[in-house]
Each structure stands twice: as structure tokens, then as C-alpha cells.
Structure 1
Amino acid sequence: MTLIRTHTCGELNRDNTGETAILNGWVDTRRDLGGVIFIDLRDRYGKTQVVFSPQDDKQAHQLADQLRSEYVIGVEGKVKERDPENVNPNMSTGQIELRVTSLQIYSKADTPPFEIVDDVKTNEDLRLKHRYLDLRRPVMQRNMLLRSAIYRQTRDYFHKHDFAEVETPFLMRSTPEGARDYLVPSRVNPGKFYALPQSPQTYKQILMVSGMDRYFQIVKCFRDEDLRADRQPEFTQIDVEMSFVDEEGIYSMGEGLMQSILSGVMGADVEAPFPRMTYEEAMKTYGTDKPDTRFDMKFVDFSEIVRFSEFRVFSKTVAEGGAVIGFVVPGKGDLGRGVLDRLTKRTRDEIGAGGLIYIKNNEEEVYSSVSKFVSDEMTADMVSHSGADKGDLILILAGPTKTVYKQLGDLRLMIAEEYDMIDTSRYRLLWVTDFPLLEYDEEDGRYYAMHHPFTSPHQDDMDKLESDPSKVRARAYDLVMNGSEIGGGSIRIHNSEVQSRMFKALGIGPEEAQQKFGFLLDAFRYGAPPHGGIALGLDRVAMLLAGAKSLREVIAFPKNQRAVSLMDNCPDVVDEGQLEELHIRLAPGTGDR
């Protein structure tokens, strides 16, 4: 029989002394001290020490001799205050213990393949194979509860602001101009396929045409991409769309949401409005469109100072249209030659830079690693231009402009992590705005939408859409937190003429546009409001708030980096009968176990 619990394992305290209580849970640890058995009983709420003594109940004590790690049990007993010297300050229930008078063993357990502890030292694949055990670890349960709290805060916030929660289909048309789709064959329509949505983009725009005005959804999305720590084949978005809105309305609503999540989930207050930075400014200041602003080290452009340097690495780079860029590392001018040599090697091996140049601005001297080729006067000008104080170090890279900014951005993060310059207790959010509308693919010889084909061009750049497409700014924006992009969106095109011009710039003719997007274009013919939206990555927000290193730590049943679920061996082959029903024949050599 199941003992129906009166309390959870994280609930009892000194105020319950003398009461009879029933607890259920898993055996966490077992200690046998002179005939008295001590068990830490664990559930998702915490742990409670339960004690089996023959003086309390001989039968329960005898049965307790069977107990081992991860047995599932129920206990009934009296709450007793611990002696002061036995109080455990590391447990919320550490002031009491439960003296057991009745024990039920619900199920026994084999020895787990790894310890159920927070700092478990085991291979991640083993943890994923036994995910049901991994999820018992307190840190994983905290992550799942944190994620649940984000869901609750999100829904409460949008319902309070009069948003309608609308579900959109998981079986939709294949969407071009993006990542690879996951395709689903249709049995009743032979030779035709659904696609799992990369996002509900077209559906949420149609909802605006439908007059829903304000929509949100916490929705699964799917992209068949190569995986990494912060990417999964299926992921969760907080999807938002609004009518009769401009960028300011989106910013205000997004800021309110993040304030609600951070306050309600983490107890952290952040000020709004969040800072804003154009895409160009972000790239030239931090070398990335998702800058981490919890530390400084902004870029300094030395190109004009070194344009006519006798040092060919400098002068040749600038003459060929490249850049000489650097940043100041505060207080690190005393780093030794060996440390800087190792840093130079890491810069070359991990970042791909041709070489690292440095200037040490110390009290006794100003030393440059290229002093043989660069005059003392030019070095002094570079130090002055950088704003470096005495005792600071200046790190410099030279190369093609786009490349060198990215490499320096990677170096900036490497230095900040190496020397513990990042204040992990803070949440720094900002908007990155004015992205390029289009990006040119040299291999394909055509432009692609940097976001999607329905992103509105900046009004001031409309005249460049045909003459100079690469210079057109988009009414697009990303929300960045602590150096990670957590959301992105745009004001959409709602004018048919502008949409046609956009398709033309993308090399999509009228027939192709109608074939691919006809249902949306047809909807626009019947009166489309100005509208815009944003999608936030719920998994990534949860990862950042949990302080986790991987999305897999905040998703209950994730895939590994080969897009495989090791626990249930998914994906797997299917039998020939299923394939025949779907009118599918596998290529020779595929589908083997």
C-alpha cells in the first residue's frame, strides 16, 4: 500500500517537532551506525534525514537493513528535533529528523551507473543514455523547475497585456530561404511532404491579417542543422507578433517580458529601456553582433596612425583595405614573455589570426613586440590613441577588415575568460539594431535575406533596394543578454509593392513567389495591418539563467551532438511495411542498424 505523504522531503522543520509525518522518496545515502540506520530521503523538494532504530519500531528497523541507494520508499514516523551538535546547516530540514515507525519499500533499484549528485564525474553520453537517472540530480531538477517558472512568467505577462495564445500547426509547407527542413512524408498524398516548422513566421503574420492584433505562443521549432552546445534540432521559442506597432512597441514589450522573467524567476532587477547599438557599431566596437557588455575592452582602430608605417604588416594591410585594430587589457602590462608567447599561439591556433602584436605600457618603459619595425614615436601615438593607462596591455591584430573584427572579438572573450573579467552576477541586456537587409553569397552569386524575406527595409534605404542592395538596412533587431543572442525579430513588409521589390532583390520571380508564398501574398490582398514581432529562445534564456554550459542541461530529453536521443535510440530504422505505406524506397546502404 502507498503511504500518502503529509509533507515533502524539503518541508519539515523545528516547528513540526512532535508531529507524525509521512514522507515518500528515493534513498539518497545510507549510514549504519551501531545498529541505528540513517537514511537521507530525497525528492524534488529536498532531503530529510530519517532514522530507523529498534527502540522506535523493531520491524521497520529490520526491513530497513535491505535499503540501498535509489530504492523508492515511504516512511511514517515522529518528527524529532536534532541535538545542536548534529544540526546540518546544509539542509533546509537539517534541524530535525524523522524517527520511523513504519516503512514501505515500493521498488528496489540496481546500482546506478553513476552517482546521483550535482558534480557527477561521468561521460555525458552515459548521462543521456540514462536520462531518467540524470534528471534525479538536484541540479537538473532545479534547471527543470527554473524552466517551468519561465513558462509561468511568460504566460502571466502576455495574458496581462491582452495577448491571445494561439497554437499554429506542426505540419506545414516546406519553407525555403532558411535552414534545412525536417520533412514528413504524407501517406494520403503520395509523393508529397509536410515540413516541421523552423518557426511559425508565416502563420503569425496571417494571424495579424486575421485581426488577432496581439499573439504569443510558446512553441516547438525544428531545424536540421549541424549541432553545437547552444543548438538543438528541436527548440522552444517564445513567439510574439503585434499589429499597428513600430520598433519602439516591440522593444517596450520585450523589455517588460525580460524584466518579469528576471524578477520572477531570479529575483533580479534590470533597468529599462535597455541600451541600443547598431549592427555596425557592435561589429566595430566588439567584433560581434552579440556583444558581452559585462566588461569593457572596446576596440580601437589604429589604421590611420600606422598607414605609412615601415612595418609592412601594418602599411600593406591598410593599403589593401584592411584594418589594424586592438583593445586595452587593464592592468596586464606586467605579463611575462612566456605568457604572451602562449597567448600568441592560442590566438593563431584557436582564432586563426596570422599573429598577435602587443604593447606593454608600463611605468619603466613602453615595450612593443614589433619595436624593431615600428618607431618609438608611432608606438607612443598608438598608446595615446588607445587611452591606455600605465600598467595596461594593448593587444593588436591586422588583416582584412571583416576577418580582423571577428578575430579580435574572439580574442576579447578569450582574455576576459582567462583573467576572470566577467561579472557573472549581472544581467546585461541590449538591443542590436539596423542589421543589413541582405547578404551576398559568393558561391551562389545571389543575395539572401539576413533574417527572412518578409523583413521590412529601412524607409530611408528604399531607393537602394535595386541600385545597392548590400547597403539597405533592415528594420530588424536582436535582443542580447550577457553575450548571447536570446531573441530576434523585425517589422514586417505589409505592402505588396515593397514585397515584390524584396523578392526581386532575392532573385525570386512572381511565379516562384506565388508557388512558395502564395497563401501569404493572397492574404495580404485583403488588407494587412502594419505588424512586427520577435521570437525569443526559451532554451537559451533558461541556459543563461541556470548558469549552464549547454542547452542539453535545461532540456528534459535533448539530443546529443549527432542529433541522437541515446535513451530511446532515436532516430531509428522503421520496418518495410511503414515505408511502403509512405511510398518511400531507401537508397542502397541507408537505413541499416
Structure 2
Amino acid sequence: MLQVTGVVRPRPGGTLNVDLPTGEVEVAAESVVILNESEPPPFPLNDRADGVDESLRLRHRYLDLRRGAMQRNLRLRAGVNRSVRAVMDAQNFVEVETPMLIASTPEGARDFVVPSRLHPGEFYALPQSPQLFKQLLMVGGLDRYYQVARCLRDEDLRADRQFEFMQLDVEMSFADAQDVMDVVALAVDAAVVGATGVSIGDIPSITWQDSMERFGTDKPDLRFGMELIDLASVFASTEFRAFQADAVKGICVAGMGEASRSTLDGLVDRAKSLGAQGLVWMRVRDGGVLEAPVAKFLSEEEQAGVVATLGAVSGDLVLIVAGERRMANEVLGALRLDLGKPPVNFSETEGGPALMRFVWVTDFPLFEKVDASGRPTPAHHPFTMPHLDDLDLLDGTGDELLAVRSQAYDLVLNGWELGSGSVRIHRADVQSRIFALLGIDAQEAQERFGFLLDAFKFGAPPHAGFAFGIDRLVALLAGEENIREVIAFPKTQSGSDPLTGAPGPLDPIHLRELGLALPARPKK
């Protein structure tokens, strides 16, 4: 590290570098002082760190942060935080910090737990979200709350998931879903405008059911078409037994009609790995003729119907999955993403920020599955208000409960779930009813959630809220495929920190203070 003293002057002609902030000037050095010495860095500190092992980068994260890409990403993140805070403040929301040491509550993932020294054998949990506390704030009269909150979930890591993550957390009293969605859209738009200079405009909305039918997922990527098409009418009277199924769905892959047989076999294997019995492929030739091993089993009318219904032309490839409806949708939805996913980096593709496709997904099922005992599992969390038109359906049993819609809504960007929200249950009787369906009896409910149920007895207002992931939004704005690239000190995919060595063993004295005894660790 050097300290250079001298005269700043314009660069001579022919030496300008417009790619540098200082590319038009130079320093005529008069003195040079060594402030500190440095060892050779263990990897090149170029912009993208191509080919450098990630564990090496994270072990020396303080050096990795010197790279231009990391500097830009962290400054972008800071700008996003400033933008969303400015919007929430302007909308008269109050920023309130909620506790980090809380009681363990069921929110869909495993808790990180903290042993109590003062209460041996008892534990705190680190918050998966501020969910219950922000509902209590509504009871307490703070009718517009927000927080840039740190949340922690002990779940398997992947490109868009870390143990620790930051979210913009919002709650509003006397509000419905649309009120919350409007405020969140303002915050997201401010963040995007600050990063790209382009407004996101109005965000379209699609129901969960339509999203599953058209895109095979509740996180639709709208940057490209290739929608799933129902072919039931085409094969209503078919003699081809494979298509005599609960659902027959298809997609048309433009220009892929000349794919090699090995490529097609790979698609079949992929479909089977996702739960399909098989995958039917058909090449579209001139005149709408279908070329495929199964073509001989289909009538001319059925073949023409496939081409017309899918809008296929010569040179296209048709893919069809038949079977149980949800399976068919999900398999084709995955193949759609495999075959049609455009680049992640907006700044390096034609259209720039215009390739950001936001969409609200609404009317999720209240429950996502029913176990062998007939007990349902909440699709979001157990504090989501059922759709008012479906309250009577709560009297059903087993799979009948899967028809109950919730007042829940997700914000999706390019196939990534940015966040989710819902209208909350504000009545103790409805909350107790949901707990009972989930197998939580009155005594257990009082033990685990008594503070919330008691609060509801004192005139809790109707309220709704939302939370979206800051990390995911910044990653998408930065054109990064992994949120580790926009977090200063992330964990590896295995959950370790090569920089500090976490997680690691505790000193035996510390364990005794906490009243903990661990089994002997196997020798390595």
C-alpha cells in the first residue's frame, strides 16, 4: 500500500481511459511512502474471479471484496436498502426492531436454537421471520410497520438461499391484499429505478391455479412464452391408451425440430426423473406433418389438432406429458425452464432492465398436502386467513381441505420468488380452528401461541403484510445467479464459513455453563 504525493494533471493525448473514473487525469509523483507491505494475493483480483475456487475466495473474503464486481454489488445493495427505506418512510410506516431471541414456533423450516445459561435445559430460537411480533404490533396500534429484518432458517442451502438473509418486512392494519401489494410495488420500483433508471411499471397478477396450468410452477418466468397447453379436447376420444389420462398437456419448442436423438432421449430421462411415466416428442415437418414413433397411433385429426392447438410450425418440437394433472404440469414446467430460460444478466442482454418480468401470484391453496392421518400442512404459515368464500370448506376432511384458498400472494421475478405475504387471521376463533385442523389442540396452542391468542381477545384489527428478500432482489439486479455474490460474508453451500472456521466446537467450560453435554466426537 503506497501513499503518493504529487500534482494531478490531465493525461497526455492518446493515454485517456474512459473506463476508469480517473481515466482523464494522472498524478505526477513527487514522493512515495510505503504505508504497508503485502504478500502476493492467493488469486488474481480481477473483476469476475473466473476459475477461482469459491472456498478460496471465501477463505480470503477480505481480498475478494477488493474486486470491482464485489464492490459494485455491495454498493448496489446499500442503494436498494436506502431506496426501500425512503419509500416506507414516505408512506408513513414506522420502522420497529423486533427481538432476535424468541420462542420456537412452527414456520416451515428448522429453527436455529440458542441455549440459555440462566435457564439450563431451555432454549431460545433465532427468528425465521418477525411474523408474530409484527402481528402484535398491529394489536398495539402501530398500524403501519416495516423493518429491514435479519432472518435465520436452518434449511439446505442453494443458489438463492442462505442461513441468514435480509428481508423488507411490512405489516398494515385495516388493509387488504391489494393495499399491501400496492405499497410493496412502490418499494420494489424505487429499488429498481435506483439501480437501473427504469421503472417496472404495473405488475400483472395471476392466480396460483392459472400459474400452475400455464407455466407448471407457482414461480412463473414470464421472460419467454412456451406456455403449457391443455390437449384434452384434442384427445377426448383417442384410442392411444397413453393419452387416456387425467390430463394431457403439451408445449411447443420453437426451432428445435432438428434436435438429435440423444438430446431427445435426454429430455425423456429428465421427464422420468421428475415423476412422469414418459415423454412424447414429435418433430413438426412441412405441412404440419408430425414425425415421431407414436405418430402412427394418432389419427390425422388428432395430429392436426396438436399442431393447431399448440400453434406449431415446421421446424418446431412438440413435447407432451400425460397423467395426473399436477404431475404433468410440474414436469412440463421444469422442461419449459430447461429449454427456454434466457440469460440472468439484464445488463448484458438485449432489452436490458426490460427483461425483468415481475408478476403477483395470488389465491394460493391454504393447505398443500394431507398426510396419512388426514392432517393438512399449511402452504405458507398457520396464520394466513382463508379466503372468505371458502370458510365453510374448513368443515371438510382429508383431500377436501386442499380446495380451501388462502388470502396469500407471492411476488415473483423471472422465476425467482422475491417474497410472500398474506392477509392474517385476526380472530381467535378462526385461528383456533386452523390450529385444530393442523393437529394443534387447545392446550398446545395456548402453550405455544397463548400470547398471540390472548392478544386477539382485545380487538385485534384486520391486518395484512408481506416480506421480500433483499438478497434475491439485489442478486437479480446485479445479474448474479447466486446470492452469495451480493452478501459480504456468506456461508458455503455446505453451511460453513471458510474465513472464520464456523461452525466449530465450544470450549468444555462454556458447555458446562450452558448445562450441555455432547457425545464424544469421532476421531478423524
Task: Report the TM-score, using the length of structure 2 for normalisation.
Answer: 0.93
**Alignment-derived partner of residue 129 in structure 2:** 199
SS at the partner of 1:76?
strand
Query: Which amino acid in the other structure matches residue 117 of structure 1?
Result: N
Question: How many matched pairs?
Answer: 514
Which of residues 573, 576, 586 is equivalent to 2:505? 573
Structure 1 residues 522 and 436: alpha-carbon distance in aligned structure 2, compared to 1, 3 A threshold: same
Distance 2:270 2:373 in 1: 31
Which stretch shows the higher mean deviation, 399-408 or 542-551? 399-408
TM-aligned CA deviation for residue 133 of structure 1: 0.8
1:178 aligns with 2:112: no
Question: Are 1:279 and 2:236 counterparts?
Answer: no
- Shift of the alpha carbon at 1:553? 0.5
Letter paired with 2:53: N
CA distance in 2, matches of 1:469, 1:400: 19
Residue 373 of structure 2 corresponds to residue 450 of structure 1: no
Aligned to 1:218: 148
Structure 2 residue corresponding to 1:152, chosen from 82, 91, 96:
82
Which residue identity does 1:405 align to in structure 2?
Answer: N
2:278 is aligned to 355
Is 1:428 aligned to 2:357, yes or no? yes
- 2:251 aligned counterpart, secondary structure: strand
Match in the other structure for 1:371? 295
Residue aligned with 2:7, SS: strand
- 1:328-407 matches, cutoff 5 A: 328-333=252-257, 335-338=258-261, 340-341=263-264, 343-344=266-267, 347-348=270-271, 351=274, 353-364=276-287, 366-369=289-292, 370-407=294-331
Aligned counterpart, 2:439: 507
1:126 to 2:49 alignment: no
Aligned mates of 1:366, 1:488 — CA distance in 2: 45
Matching residue of 2:333: 409
Moved more, 417-426 or 84-93: 417-426
Q: Check whether the contact 2:219–2:415 (CA below 8 A) recurs between aligned residues.
A: yes
Q: CA deviation at 1:339?
A: 6.5
Find the aligned partners of 1:145 and 1:489 in 2 and give their Cα distance. 28
Q: Which residue does 2:483 correspond to in 1?
A: 551
Q: Distance in 1 between matches of 2:54 and 2:30?
A: 40
Q: Secondary structure at the match of 1:486?
A: strand
On the 8 A contact 1:223/1:234 being kept in 2, the answer is yes
CA positional deviation for 1:418: 7.7
In the alignment, which of 87, 96, 99 is matched to residue 169 of structure 1?
99
1:270 aligns with 2:200: yes
- Measured against aligned partners, the alpha-carbon deviations of 1:149-175 in whole angstroms (never above 9, x if no partner) come to 011001111111111000000000001
- Matched-pair contact (CA < 8 Å) for 1:294–1:423: no
Alignment of 1:177-326 (within 5 A): 177-272=107-202, 274-315=203-244, 318=245, 321=246, 323-326=247-250
The question of whether the paired residues in 2 share the 8 Å contact of 1:491 and 1:531 is answered with yes
> Over residues 370-416 of structure 1, what are the superposed CA-to-partner deviations in whole Å (9 max), with x where a residue is unaligned?
21222232111111122224443322222322122111111111111
Moved more, 201-210 or 388-397: 388-397
Q: Which amino acid aligns with 2:146?
A: F
**1:466–1:505 contact (8 Å) kept in structure 2:** no
Larger RCO: Structure 1 or Structure 2 (Cα < 8 Å, ≥ 6 residues apart)? 2
CA shift at 1:365, angstroms? 5.2
Moved more, 567-576 or 463-472: 463-472
The answer to whether the Cα contact below 8 Å between 1:416 and 1:422 also exists between their aligned partners in 2 is: no
Query: In 1, distance between residues paired with 2:509 and 2:496?
Result: 24
Q: 1:84 to 1:248 in 2, by over 3 A?
A: same
Give the AA of the match of 1:366.
V
Q: For residues 208-233 of structure 1, give each alpha carbon's deviation from its aligned partner in whole angstroms, at most 9, with x where no partner exists.
A: 00000100001111111111111111
Report deviation, 1:355: 3.4
Tell me the amino acid that sits aligned with residue 381 of structure 1: G
- Asked if structure 2 preserves the Cα contact closer than 8 Å seen for 1:286 and 1:405, the reply is yes
SS of residue paired to 2:341: helix
Structure-2 separation of matches of 1:411 and 1:132? 40
- Distance change (3 Å), C-alpha of 1:581 and 1:461: same
Counterpart CA distance in 2 for 1:82 and 1:177 is 60
Contact 2:264 2:281 in 1 (8 A): no
Q: CA deviation at 1:329?
A: 2.2
| Amino acid paired to 1:174 | S
1:85 aligned counterpart, secondary structure: coil
Match for residue 472 of structure 2 among 520, 537, 540: 540
CA 1:258–1:419: 2 relative to 1, 3 Å: closer
For residue 443 of structure 1, report the CA deviation from its aligned partner.
5.5
- CA deviation map 1:162-217 (0-9, x unaligned): 11000000000001252111110000011110000000000000000000010000
Inter-partner Cα distance in structure 1 for 2:350 and 2:315: 20
Give the SS at the match of 2:290: strand
Cα deviation code 1:84-112 (max 9, x no counterpart): 22222332322222111111211111111
Match among 414, 417, 420 for residue 488 of structure 1: 420
Deviates more, 1:300-309 or 1:492-501: 300-309
SS in 2 for 1:589: coil
Kindly indicate whether residue 41 of structure 2 is the aligned counterpart of residue 112 of structure 1: yes
What secondary structure does 1:153 align onto?
helix
Between 1:530-539 and 1:295-304, the stretch displaced more is: 295-304
Distance in 2, Cα, partners of 1:377 & 1:314: 15
8 Å Cα contact 2:418/2:469 also seen in 1: yes
Give % identity.
45
Aligned partner letter, 2:129: S
| Larger gyration radius, structure 1 or structure 2 | 1
Quote the residue 2:368 is aligned against: 439
